Amino acid sequence: MTWFGHSAFHLQAPGGKSVLIDPWLDNPAAPRGTKETISANVILITHGHSDHFGNAIQIAQRTNAQVISIYEISQYLHTQGIDTAQGMNKGGTVEIYDLKVTMVDARHSSGLDAGGAIVSGGEPAGYVIEFGNGYTVYHAGDTSVFGDMKIIADLYRPSLVILPIGGLFTMGPREAAYACKLLKPKRIVGMHYGTFPALSGTPSALKSCLPTAMKKNVVEMVPGQAVSFG
């Protein structure tokens, strides 16, 4: 898995296919040239805000990747010529290649930035991705902590959780630590921090809020550097 800053992640599946999540690759932390060269078989969009929808259209046009999103965003993508857009909704699962992609809840807003106007982007979401070898990743999208994360843990048992920790627009370290108590993952990765001064949460602050036994589960990633999980 490679983090490209903010909430953008590239996951390479054991079978060779790749998943790109929230591809805002113009963010200040993303290595230059990433959006022009990155590969993807599947693109997941958690919600309509431009710092998550990002460069999805440009990358989908270049790679012909399947773009999965909530229904309203998929309809917008079709108007932009993205014929590979696949709409779904919360609780549903799409099976593609050797992956199972399940859309789950998130607590946020989701207005779609369309040429300076805000149009309906449906609701925000997170994704649980199960790879062919059974390894499961939960990308929470932009969200606050909510009690139904316990249901996500019970149903999908994600080994790796990717949680926003920056604060202000999402939960911060304290709330993310509580989410980890609900989810009980083997590995924890923070996102949506450091992009702007207002997103002040850090992985070290997250660690300080976690129970002692969970502190070692936090993996601090560096933009552009791949880390293997399994």
| Per-residue pLDDT of the chain in tens (230 residues, 90 and over written 9) | 999 999 999 999 998 999 999 999 999 999 999 999 999 999 999 999 999 999 999 999 999 999 999 999 999 999 999 999 999 999 999 999 999 999 999 999 999 988 788 999 999 999 999 999 999 999 999 999 999 999 999 999 999 999 999 999 999 999 999 999 999 999 999 999 999 999 999 999 999 999 999 999 999 999 999 999 98
Q: How far apart are CA 53 and CA 57, in angstroms?
A: 8
Supply the pLDDT for residue 116. 81
**Amino acid at the residue 73:** I
Q: Where are the alpha helices (DSSP H) in the chain?
A: 34-37, 50-53, 56-63, 71-79, 149-156, 173-183, 203-209, 212-215
Residue 6: closest CA among 209, 164, 176, 186 = 164
Dihedral angle computed from the Cα positions of residues 122, 132, 222 and 167, in that order, rounded to the nearest 10 degrees: 30
Supply the pLDDT for residue 114. 81
196: tokens are 């702007």
Residue-range domain boundaries for the chain: 2-215
Supply the pLDDT for residue 36. 97
Dihedral angle computed from the Cα positions of residues 176, 226, 187 and 125, in that order, rounded to the nearest 10 degrees: 50
Q: In terms of CATH, what superfamily is 2-215?
A: Ribonuclease Z/Hydroxyacylglutathione hydrolase-like (3.60.15.10)
